[in-house]
Structures are given as C-alpha cells and as structure tokens.
Amino acid sequence: MRRKLSEDIEAAIKNDNTAYDSSLSPFAAKNSAADRRRPDHEDIRRPFFHDGDRIMHSRAYARYIDKTQVFYLIKNDHITHRVLHVQLVSKIARMIGRGLLLNEDLIEAIALGHDIGHVPYGHDGEKYLSAECRRHGIGSFRHNVQSVRALDRIEDLNLTLQVLDGILAHNGEAHDLLIKPAFGKTWKAFEGEVKLCEGTNDEHSGILPMTLEGCVVRVSDTISFIGRDIEDAITIGLIRREEIPEECAQVLGDNNRDIVNNLVIDVIENSYGKDYVALSGYTAAALQKLREFNNTDIYNNPKIKSEAGKVGRMFSMLFQTFLEDLEKGDKSSRIYKNYLDTFPEEKLKRYLDDTPNAGIVRDFISGMTDDYFNDTFREIYLPTKRRL
C-alpha cells in the first residue's frame, strides 16, 4: 500500500513549492510550467525532481557504471568513467544554477540523463556505430538523440518536455561565448528538432535548449570534462602538466580544481540576472584553446588509439550478426533474450511497429556497457572450453 501524507502537511508542502518558484530568477523554469505528454501521478515531489528520480531508477541509468568516458582498455582504477562524469556535470551545473537562482531540480534531471545514449567505448564507439547505422540506411547515430530514445521511447518514463529538451540540446560547441534559450518550445517543435538531429551528419545540429537550466548543463558538460580529462591523461602518463598551453594556464589554471573554479565563477559573473548563459571573451578564448590541446594531445593521441581498429571491427560484426538474428527470428539470440523479451507485450508491439530492424540493433548495442559488449562478442565469435 502506498502511504499518503496528511492533508494539512501536503497543503503546506504545495505552498512551499509555490514559494520556491517565486524565489527563482524571472528567467528560470518554473515547476508550475512543467509539461508532460500525458497526465501522470504526481506526489509531494516537484515535477522536475520527480523526473530526476525516474531517470536514476531507469535501467539505462544503471548501465552508466561501466561505460567509457575517454580512455578505454586502460588498466587504471582512478580514471573517469561515464557515471562519474554525469555526477560531476550535475554538481557543477547545480552550483552554477544556485548562483543564478535557477531551478536546480530541472538542472539535476537534465544532467543525470544527458549521456544515457552513449555507447560502449565512448566517442570512438559512437563513430563506429554511426558508420553501421548509415550503412544500413537509418542515418547517423547521435548520442543526444539516443538519450531521448532510451528515456522517452524505450523505457517510456513520461518525462517533462523541459527535461527531454535539455538532454537533446546538451551538446554544442565547447567555446560558446553566449547561449540564449529558445524559450517557449512545444512538443511539436521538440519532435521536429529530434528529426533534425537524426538527419544531420554534423555533430552539432545548432539547436538550443528551451530553458536557462538546459543552457547551464550544456556549458557545465564542458567544464566538467575539460580539466578532468587532463588529470586522467596525466595519471596514465599520456601528457605532462607542463605541456598545458601557458596562455590557457594563465587564465584557467593548470589543474582541474582551478579550471572548474575559474570557469564557474566566470559563468556566474557574466550570466547573473541575464536571460542567457555567457562566458567572458578572454575566458571563452582560453577554453577553446584548451579544448584544441585536449583534442590533439589527448583524445586523438596515437598512444591510446592502437586498438581502435579492432573495436571498429567488433561493432561491425555484432551489428551484422544481430541484424541477421532478427531477420531469421532467432529467439536464442541475445537481442531477443536480453532486450526484446524484456519489453511488456503491449509496449513491444508499438516498439516493433515504429522501429526497423537496423534501429532495433542500434538501440540494443548503444545500451550495452563495455563489459557486456565484450562478453557478447566473446560468446558469439570465440570458442569456449567445455567438458564432454
């Protein structure tokens, strides 16, 4: 039985929620404006807080625990994985949001869900999966779109428009000087932007969040990883701290603590009381320069790409195998046992009606953890010792 609050306590909490909305910036997203596709059970939790809970209790969120952030196939227990990155984005974004008097519940929900759609082996995995998707006629793969698919279509959490929009629009240019929300979006406009993202070959589609909270998560995504990736690269011996460009170190610092602190302060100082989120010109320039350093010396460093070709072939082989399993109706395949068979019957019918076979394979592979991806490959392609 589900226990309920007494009427007087429930009324007091509702009054507190109204007071919370009144305490926010005039440009903040209000809980009273939360927009769901269909009516849903609401309790003492504010709607965006409720969304954060739904995301955290989803099956997709649990799989963050073993997904690559940047460095894969590196034996070191102290480098960042996707689950830690998401927590860092949430902390940083909420810190900025508090300084700007924004809705922290909305910020947290967007941050928790923003990378749900990332695939095994990080951005390299996304590149390989995208190539397979194009080869099989379903367009490029975009992790922001897949995050929306996982939460809205596959698990059907009935999240608010504001949260799904923030997740879809979370990835943009790292050196955005100013991000102004596209206020007033509707569900129809959101669905149009989903299709736009699906149809582009460009990593950044140019769409903007509909809330300041979404803009804060977008800039916090970069703040959370730019210095942290440097620390991880130093930890594994890929770069030395002295290699950080001097012009970046002078403005932002040469360690993650200072980089985060300086960027957060700059954002708050340049955004307070405004209907946009902004960086100062000199800080944005230093951030862009640091991003270029990370791209060259870390993300595309040949020392961490030695196994990339093998990973690419693994994606290709698994995609083709699962596609054949669907076409044959092989119910012993993992794509049935560990994916399609987990859907409730009514939801499965809708999903199959709306999703081509290649799309089902995309959804299955993108949801895998690194370990599950590797285990699946071993099970299908490598021989196993057994007793007669």
CATH number where 245 lies: 1.10.3210.10
Question: How many whole angstroms separate alpha carbon 142 and alpha carbon 229?
Answer: 22
Per-residue pLDDT at 13 exceeds 80: no
Residues 233 and 328 in one domain: no
Residues 243 and 372 in one domain: no
pLDDT at 173: 57
Write out pLDDT tens, residues 321-364: 999 999 999 999 999 999 999 999 989 999 999 999 999 999 99
Residues 317 and 296 in one domain: no
Is 36 inside any structural domain?
no
Is 42 inside any structural domain?
no
Per-residue pLDDT at 72 exceeds 70: yes
Query: What number is the average pLDDT over the span 225-247?
Result: 94
Question: DSSP string spanning 170-189?
Answer: ----TT-SEE----S--HHH
* Pick from 73-77, 211-215, 282-286: least confident: 73-77
Residues 242 and 166 in one domain: yes
CB 93 within 8 A of CB 220: yes
- Among the candidates 303, 319, 334, a domain finishes at 303
Is 56 inside any structural domain?
no
CB 373 within 8 A of CB 120: yes
Write out pLDDT tens, residues 167-207: 999 986 544 689 999 999 999 999 999 998 887 666 666 89
Q: What mean pLDDT is reported for the chain?
A: 91
Is 176 inside any structural domain?
yes
pLDDT at 31: 93
Q: Which of 54, 242, 244, 236 is nearest to 151 (CA)?
A: 54
CB atoms near residue 97 (< 10 Å): 26
Residues 323 and 252 in one domain: no
Write out pLDDT tens, residues 289-303: 999 999 999 989 988
Residues 208 and 328 in one domain: no
* Domain interval for residue 73: 67-123+139-303
pLDDT at 163: 98
Residues 293 and 147 in one domain: yes
Residue type, 162: Q
CB 287 within 8 A of CB 225: no
CA end-to-end span of the chain = 52
Question: Over the range 102-125, which residues count as b (16 or more CB within 10 Å of their CB) and which as e?
Answer: bbbbbbbbbbbbbbbbbbbbbebb
Is 57 inside any structural domain?
no
CA geometry: angle at 195 spanning 191 and 198, to 5°? 140
Residues 230 and 262 in one domain: yes
Query: What number is the average pLDDT over the span 102-119?
Result: 96
Q: Which residue in the block uniquely carries the two structure tokens 């460093």?
A: 301
In angstroms, the Cα distances linking 8 to 4, 15, 19, 46, 146 are 11, 11, 17, 17, 43
CA geometry: angle at 151 spanning 146 and 153, to 5°? 80
Crossing angle of helices 104-113 and 47-56, rounded to 10°: 20
pLDDT at 64: 86
Residue type, 228: R
* Helices and strands (H, E) in the chain, number of each type: 18, 2
Residue type, 198: E
Residues 160 and 243 in one domain: yes
CB 274 within 8 A of CB 177: no
Residue type, 2: R
Is 296 inside any structural domain?
yes
Is 331 inside any structural domain?
yes
Question: Residue 195: exposed, middle, or buried by beta-carbon count in 10 A (0-12, 13-18, 19+)?
Answer: exposed
Helix, strand, coil share of the chain (percent; to 5): 65, 0, 35
Q: Which of 299, 294, 311, 303 is nearest to 120 (CA)?
A: 311
Per-residue pLDDT at 9 exceeds 90: no
Per-residue pLDDT at 266 exceeds 90: yes
Is 248 inside any structural domain?
yes
Crossing angle of helices 308-328 and 357-366, rounded to 10°: 130
What are the backbone dihedrals phi and psi of residue 208, each rounded to the nearest 5 degrees, phi first? -120, 150
Q: How many domains does the chain have?
A: 2
Residues 294 and 318 in one domain: no
CB 107 within 8 A of CB 30: no
Per-residue pLDDT at 211 exceeds 50: yes
Query: What residues have CB less than 8 Å from 347, skipping those under 6 apart?
Result: 156
Share of the chain above pLDDT 70, in %: 95
Write out pLDDT tens, residues 35-51: 999 988 777 889 999 99
Residues 298 and 316 in one domain: no
- Among the candidates 285, 303, 321, a domain finishes at 303
Q: From the CA atom positions of the chain, what is the Rg in Å? A: 22
Question: DSSP string spanning 89-134?
Answer: HHHHHHHHHHHTT--HHHHHHHHHHTTTTPPTTHHHHHHHHHHHHH
- Among the candidates 277, 303, 329, a domain finishes at 303
